[in-house]
A = this chain, B = another copy of it.
Amino acid sequence: MKITPIMREYLGEIYRLERNPEGVSTSAMAERLEVSPSAVVRMLRRLDQADMLSYVPYQGVKLTTEGEREALRSIRRHRLLEVLLVQVMGFGWDEVHEQAHGLQLTITDAFEDRMDAVSGYPTHCPHGDPIPTKDGRIAATNDQPLSDTPVGAEAVLRRVKTDDGEKLRYLAELGLRPGVPVRVLHRAPFNGPLRLRANGHEHVIGTELARALRVEVMP
């Protein structure tokens, strides 16, 4: 049974959701793929048929080994596209998720390779997620939510886990991008806002944003 680019895109999104605490729900998939829930259900049945995953109605979904391989191919394309759009085409990191979503469906393998080359063989997407290699290996991530990081810690911002354009634009304004060193200065009690220092400036970050920021704590 053959696999289409659209199927691969679903698999990529399922893979991402599987490693997310919220889990893989029909409606979550529908939202991320910008598609109706019913389209998701039908696709799940097809993907089950194609042995890409096992799907039990109302119960949930689990990728097979084969399914994971295809998912990683899709994620590679998506993240390489994001890099290309930011570094080569000059888009802001808040504009690229949706575009990569669409373009992924029509690029060729040759395009994937050229994209990799002209972007300088990047290892991470603009939001800090690792780009799987061509043979389907993906670097482990070793970071934690800024919201769980103890006061006083020296850390490096590694990932920004949101697709919300508003948030991304705001973070860009503050200069909070992957690779930037940050220090947690203070956290107000009861999940209050968090004060931190980065790029020589102090900023106050709300809880919602702090949960999206992932840092690696330095020894």
Q: Which residues of A contact B (CB under 8 A)?
A: 88-91, 95, 99, 102-103, 105-108, 110-111, 114-115, 117-118
B90 to A117, Cβ gap below 8 A? Answer: yes
Neighbour of A118 across the interface among B89, B105, B111, B114, CB < 8 A: B89
Tallying the copies of this chain within the complex gives 2
Q: Are A111 and B90 in contact (CB under 8 A)?
A: no
Which residues in B have their C-beta under 8 angstroms from that of A115?
Answer: 89
What separation, in Å, do the CA atoms of A108 and B89 have in the docked complex? 13
Bound CA span A89–B90, Å: 14
- Determine whether the beta carbon of A114 is less than 8 Å from that of B102: no
Known pairs A90-B117, A99-B108, A103-B107; list 20 more (Cβ under 8 Å): A88-B88, A88-B118, A89-B111, A89-B114, A89-B115, A89-B118, A90-B114, A90-B118, A91-B110, A91-B114, A95-B110, A99-B107, A99-B111, A102-B106, A102-B107, A102-B108, A103-B103, A103-B106, A105-B106, A106-B106
Beta-carbon nearest neighbor of A102 in chain B: B106
| A108 CB contacts on chain B under 8 angstroms | 99, 102
**Nearest-neighbor residue (CB-CB) of A115 within chain B:** B89
A108: nearest residue on chain B (CB-CB)? B99
